Structure 1
Amino acid sequence: MECVVSLEGLALSQHGQLKYAAAFIDEQIRDIRLENNHIHIVHESPKGNAAIESQVRRLIERFSHGDFGFKENILFEQKVNTPYEGDIIAELVDRKIIKVLEEGLFIFREPFSSLMRFFDYSFVTKVGNRFEGIKEESYPAVIHCETLNKTNHFTSFPEHIHFLTHLREDLDIIEAFSQSIRESGGWKPDAPLDMNTTMPSPKFTMNPSTCYHCYEGLQNETLEGDGLIVSAISKCHRFESRNHSDFGRLLDFSMREIIFVGKPEFVKENRLRAIEYMKELAVEWNVDCMLEIANDPFFTNDFQTKASFQRNQEMKYELRLTIPHIKKSIACGSINFHSNTFGNAFQIKMGKRPAVTGCVGFGIERWTFAFLAQFGLDEADWPATFREQYHAWQQKSL
């Protein structure tokens, strides 16, 4: 079946957000596309077209309700005549450099895996280490549900969460589960499981963002001086339904972050420095990109209020790299200011006042995908400075 709904009255700037959110309407959706100011949803849902259309209209209302206006501004733009315009994903798969396990879940092999390590090394040395006194931390891949509750992640981005649980600590349940798997000839995707009986309510989820662990680790502390700067990389996990078919949108990805916690001016000044460092790196590597005001994809009925506030207060910027083959750009870096949201949530103090926080994030896989999408796998076509730095790093890493 195909459900077609007019988008008349919905601002063009919201069409992409609607398409993204529509993937979560029903598990039986097979395809979503935007054409001629309409959204087309191909599905096999037993609910029928009327139910799908009703849900789409709910989302249209969400994204058009209270049109506060989006502040749009490009802070920096660099246009480059890049040499590669092919389908880099198809080439990487064909050459067995990446193995697609399913949409959004990849195994990375050489040279992609080396480029990932080089990008992270560069972000640490060329951006992170320019901040005096920066400290490196290491975080787990899982996070307490209570920590996500304090960050309001459950209410802002509920669709992304990967919950973790386990079999109950009950010998009868464990043995019965194991026996049922043996009898059915191994694990089956549609294996009937009584979750309430066999598994407890989750205490953990997979970590959706690197910086959350930093704030969790500072809970109930009072910081000295102007604040602190932390660098960390961790695996992050976000479920994004059919959106994983979009270029660079992974289920499991690596995020290097530089995190600022302290007095308002300390965080704001260092955030501005980070923007300049990111721009310098883009120029040095000669990538086709732009830096613009952005907003998070809030999955809430007050989306317009939150997103417009974020944009108008310039609380989030994104560095977007062009993907020539699809004639679009993807966000590869973000620069965020959270005010005292996390300082209040985790009782992090600067004297008697809550600390202010901000962070700079680099998507390692996305940077690698985007770079190769612009310059291809032939190193002779890479920007000279980037190629020299990569080869120097390779020699150092031997």
Structure 2
Amino acid sequence: MECIVSLKRLDPGQYGQLKYASAFVDEHIEEIRLDEARQELLLVHHSPLGNDVIAERLERLIERFSKGDFGFKENRLFENRGPLPYNGDIIAELVQAKTIKVLEPGLFIFREPFSSLMRFMDYAFVTKVAKPFGVTEESYPAVIHCDTLNKTNHFTSFPEHIHFLTHLREDLDVIEGFSQSVREAGGWKQDAPLALDANMPKPRFAMNPSTCYHCYEGLQGETIEGDGLAVTAISKCHRFESRNHTDFGRLLDFSMREIVFVGKPDYVKENRLKSLEYIQDLAREWEVDSYLEVANDPFFTNDFQVKASFQRNQEMKYELRLTIPYLNKSIACSSVNFHSNTFGSAFNIKVGKRNAVTGCVGFGIERWVFAFLSQFGLEESGWPARFREQYEAWKEKSL
């Protein structure tokens, strides 16, 4: 079935957000098509609920994103025009070269040289952006307490992303019964009647959706000395994005390097602005076609416009977006965020007698590599000279 809704009362700047959110309207959505010229969104589905229900849900989303009397204005702070010597379908080339193995949309295995580029870029982000702040390195688990996510308001802001973790109950009959049912089904099968819901407890953990959350969790109840501290860490992050995993760069499982500032307002604000300079320097040095803009998080809430507008008006989030030439679009590869005292209050982190403020700088490692290769291709001879020199020096040092 096809469900078509009009977008005429929605600002064009919100079309992308609506298209993204539409993937979560119903689990039976097969295809989403946005026709900007006709101002229409079309959903192809086989939902037993029928077109009327699907249309009503889409209208609810349109209402959510159309609240307010203005659209989000583009606000670029920096732009770097790169040479863009390559214009091919980099994903197809990587798959053909067996450099990446696509297990399913958004879930990849990375091989050389992609895997080396990931390690090199992470090294560069640490040395060129993080180290000037005197950071200390931390290592975080890939899972996180649900109680911690609750304190960050993740359940109410981004509920669609959450990957819950659970297990079979500590019950011999349940465990043996599960094993036997899988055996009788001829192995694990997605549609096998395994009665998992009844045999699994309410989850206490989820896969970690953002590196910085563990930093705040680790500082809970502590008092920061001096003006503040800077921490860096890289961890695997996980976000479920439904059909959006077919979009370029939207991974189910990805690596995020973050620099986290915790302390007095001036300390966090000044370092956050300084990090913007380092990121711009890096974009120029590597000759990546990119721009830095004021942005907002994709809140999945009825008060989206209120939260997103506040973020933008206060310039609490910047994104560095890199061009993907063959798609004629860009993707966010780094973000620079200011949280005020939200996390300091939630986790009782003090600076003196006041709650600490926080900010963070994030680098999506796989996205950076994908975007770089989409601009310069797989042939190393076509890469910018300074990038190539740094990469070769790193390889020699890391062997």
Superposition TM-score, scaled by structure 2 size: 0.98
Kept after mapping to 2: 8 A contact 1:72/1:311: no
Report the counterpart of residue 6 of structure 1 in structure 2.
6
Any conservation in 2 of the 1:69–1:308 contact (CA below 8 Å)? no
Measured after TM superposition, the shift of residue 68 of structure 1 is 5.3
Q: Deviations over 1:277-332 (max 9, x none)?
A: 00000000000000000000000000000000000000000000000000000000
Q: Is the 8 A contact 1:71 1:312 kept in 2?
A: no
The answer to whether the Cα contact below 8 Å between 1:29 and 1:44 also exists between their aligned partners in 2 is yes
1:113 to 108, 112, 115: 115
CA distance in 2, matches of 1:46, 1:224: 59
| CA apart distance, 1:191 | 2.0
Distance (whole Å) between structure 1 residues aligned to residue 321 and residue 33 of structure 2: 22
Letter in 1 for 2:21: A
For the pair 1:264 / 2:265, whether they are aligned, the reply is yes
Q: Distance in 2 between matches of 1:61 and 1:25?
A: 14
Q: Is residue 374 of structure 2 the alignment partner of residue 370 of structure 1?
A: no
Mapped to 2, the partners of 1:29 and 1:199 lie a distance apart of 28
Partner of 2:34: 34
Query: Tell me, what secondary structure is at the counterpart of 1:272?
Result: helix
String of CA shifts for 1:111-150, please: whole Å, max 9, x gaps: 0000000000000001111113x10000000000000000
- The equivalent of 1:79 in structure 2 is 81
Q: Which runs of structure 1 show a deviation greater than 4 angstroms over 4 or more consecutive aligned residues?
A: none
Pairing 1:231-310 to 2, within 5 Å after superposition: 231-310=232-311
2:23 counterpart residue number: 23
Q: Distance in 1 between matches of 2:350 and 2:106?
A: 39
Which of 55, 61, 66 is 1:59 aligned to? Answer: 61
Output the amino acid matched with 2:203: P
Structure 2 partner of 1:100: 102
Between the aligned partners of 2:191 and 2:142, the Cα distance in structure 1 is 27
How far does residue 161 in structure 1 lie from its aligned partner after superposition? 0.1
- CA displacement at 1:69 relative to structure 2: 4.6
SS at match of 1:311: helix
Matches within 5 A, 1:339-354: 339-354=340-355
Alpha-carbon distance in 1 for matches of 2:245, 2:26: 15
1:381 aligns with 2:364: no
Whether contact under 8 Å (2:11, 2:70) holds in the other structure is no
Distance in 2 between the 1:178 and 1:69 partners? 54
The alpha carbon displacement at 1:194 in A equals 2.7
Contact 2:13 / 2:71 at 8 angstroms: preserved in 1?
no
Task: State the identity %.
Answer: 75
Asked if structure 2 preserves the Cα contact closer than 8 Å seen for 1:101 and 1:107, the reply is yes
Cα RMSD for the two superposed structures? 0.8
Match of 1:394 in 2: 395
Q: Unmatched 5+ residue regions in structure 2?
A: none
Distance (whole Å) between structure 1 residues aligned to residue 306 and residue 73 of structure 2: 12
Is the contact between residue 248 and residue 369 of structure 1 (CA under 8 Å) also seen in structure 2? yes
TM norm structure 1: 0.99
Cα contact 1:67–1:304 (8 A) shared by 2: no
Q: Partners in 2 of 1:32 and 1:110 — Cα distance? A: 34
Which structure 1 residue ranges, 5 or more long, are not aligned?
none
AA matched with 1:122? A
How many pairs align? 397
- 2: distance between equivalents of 1:379 and 1:191? 48
Matched residue SS, 2:25: coil
